[in-house]
Structure 1
Amino acid sequence: MASAHDVAAAVLAEVGRVTAMKLEKLVYYCQGWHLARSGSPLFAEPIEAWREGPVVPLLYRHHRQQLYVSDWPLGDPSRLTDAQRESVRWVAREYGRFSATELSTMTHNELPWRAARGALPESASSSEQLDVDLMRAYYARQMASTETAVAQATANAAIEGEEFDQDWQERLRDVASGLVDADDLIAEEIGRLRG
């Protein structure tokens, strides 16, 4: 099994120089999404529910007092399997565009971090470990087939009093399938409404 050091090195190979906080969040998302996709952890080291979001203490000890990190000599991306490298690439592509603060906010809104912290206020320190099984279940629930995603979006719209016709459902299928970017679809719809 790869170590958190190997994953950190692989993340940096994909995204380049980032803040230490962003590196921590990207490594966390690599673990979560790999758990969901493969059922097994990407690395064995624990992740703790710190005030700023999930942190791998092993990594923190090595980047402590560094604002930016550009390489990780303690890790070797070649130790990752093809499936593990694909998880890292996917996270880098999907989450790499967000800032460290945005990623931290995202993790604060997700169950694995919140459950580990329990009733603690966000400003409190914590070294509680995130539950790997909860991470696996949480991120697995985020993955849905195209038809399930369209059905859920249509049902949510109906709750809000909107109805998606067949044309809209087809457009949603395009987004869920990755054929159309969601931002492009929204811009197209705004343009259509403005006439």
Structure 2
Amino acid sequence: MVTILDVARYIVDQIGTVTTMKLQKLCYYSQAWTLVWDEKPLFDEDFQAWANGPANPQLFAKHKGRFVVDKGFLHNCTDEDALSSEQKQNIDIVLEFYGDKDPHWLSELTHMERPWKDARGNCQIGDNCSNVIEKEAMFQYYDNL
């Protein structure tokens, strides 16, 4: 079974050094668009509606304390063969579209989109929030774009 860590490893291996904020957003959009294109999740782990946009706690635990990560990140705890060619193709398309974007631009983009906004609920701007962004909400929103 593919995990978010497998996806993060693949992304870093493809684009090289990346900020952790951007990595979180690229994993989020990889999940969102795979939900639309394949009608199933890329990985089981959920994203939460954190102040700077969608974030996954398991991935955060691996990069906590780092501003950037580079190739080799996660190589000791992931399976490089976990992703199918179709899954890699989906991620590659996401990277073509979002990969050159600034991490803060990506964060702002997620702030304008319903899945993050709805999951935030009553959480105030800048407040910690661990509310889950439901996969079904992601599918519904991105499928209608």
TM value normalised by structure 2: 0.94
Alignment of 1:39-188 (within 5 A): 39-70=39-70, 71-73=73-75, 74-142=77-145
**What SS does structure 1 have at the residue aligned with 2:81?**
helix
Q: Which residue of 1 aligns with 2:33?
A: 33
CA contact (8 A) 1:2 1:42 kept: yes
Matched position secondary structure for 1:79:
coil
1:67-88 CA distance string (max 9 Å, x none):
1101322223421112211111
3-state SS, counterpart of residue 49 of structure 2: strand
Q: Distance in 2 between matches of 1:52 and 1:128?
A: 13
Q: How far apart, in 1, do the equivalents of 2:94 and 2:79 lie?
A: 18
Partner of 2:2: 2
Q: Match for residue 20 of structure 1? A: 20
CA distance in 2, matches of 1:122, 1:25: 18
Q: Is the 8 A contact 1:35 1:42 kept in 2?
A: yes
Identity rate of aligned residues, in percent?
35
Greater shift after overlay, 83-92 or 69-78?
69-78
Superposition CA RMSD, Å: 1.0
The whole-number CA distance in structure 1 between the counterparts of 2:37 and 2:130 is 27
Q: CA deviation at 1:121?
A: 2.2
**Which ranges in structure 1 are unaligned for 5 or more consecutive residues?**
143-195
Normalised to the residue count of structure 1, the TM-score between the two structures is 0.70
Q: Are the counterparts in 2 of residues 20 and 67 from structure 1 also a CA contact under 8 Å?
A: yes
- Separation in structure 1 between the aligned mates of residue 51 and residue 79 of structure 2, nearest angstrom: 29
Which range moved further: 76-85 or 102-111?
Answer: 76-85
How far apart, in 2, do the equivalents of 1:31 and 1:136 lie? 9
- Give the whole-Å Cα distance in 1 for the aligned partners of 2:93 and 2:80: 15
Give secondary structure in 2 for the equivalent of 1:13: helix
Structure 1 residue 106: Cα displacement: 0.5
Which protein is richer in helix relative to its size?
1
Q: Which residue of 2 aligns with 1:156?
A: none
Cα pair 1:10 1:76 within 8 Å, conserved = no
